[in-house]
Amino acid sequence: MNPEKVVFGFFIVLALTLNFGFFVGEIDDPNHHHVYELFAVLVVNLIATVLKFGDRSQMGAVLLATSLVAMLQLIGAALVWTYAVHASDVGLTPTVTASIVSLSGGAMLANVISVVLLVIETVMLRR
């Protein structure tokens, strides 16, 4: 067993599951989506992205691309949250919360693609 592959797979799956946990709930209810959970999703996705930089294969390039897409979506969600709460008088309205959750949903889709590609790569390995 390759410990590097275990850590790599762990962070990819953890990124997906944390993102799913943040995404689930009423799309416009701020009580169902906690800021610390979004922060955890962002940090774990960042770690998963950094781990993908070492792979120089075509599959590695696609995995890195999906991770970068997820990071862009999550950074966008964090910026919307930060702006709404700290830079404007709007606060977490249902509309703002729906935007944040929608962006995290896009990141979750990118994470699903990443996990599917990881499973495909694993199945294609020959002993």
* pLDDT tens readout for residues 8-35: 999 999 999 999 999 999 999 999 999 9
Report, as an integer, the average pLDDT of 87-93. Answer: 91
The angle formed by the CA atoms of residues 1, 43 and 97, to the nearest 5 degrees, is 130
Nearest to 19 by CA among 69, 58, 55, 61: 69
Question: So what's the pLDDT on residue 52?
Answer: 87
Over the stretch 45-59, which tens digit does the pLDDT of each residue have? 999 999 988 778 888
Question: So what's the pLDDT on residue 127?
Answer: 60
Residues 6+ apart with CB under 8 A from 32: 24, 25, 26
Question: So what's the pLDDT on residue 53?
Answer: 86
Residues 6+ apart with CB under 8 A from 68: 49
Q: Is the pTM of this model over 0.75?
A: yes
Question: So what's the pLDDT on residue 116?
Answer: 96
With residues binned 3-state (H G I as helix, E B as strand, rest as coil), the percentages for the chain, rounded to 5, are 80, 0, 20
**Helix or strand holding residue 86 (H, E):** none
Contact in structure between 66 and 108 (CB atoms under 8 Å): no
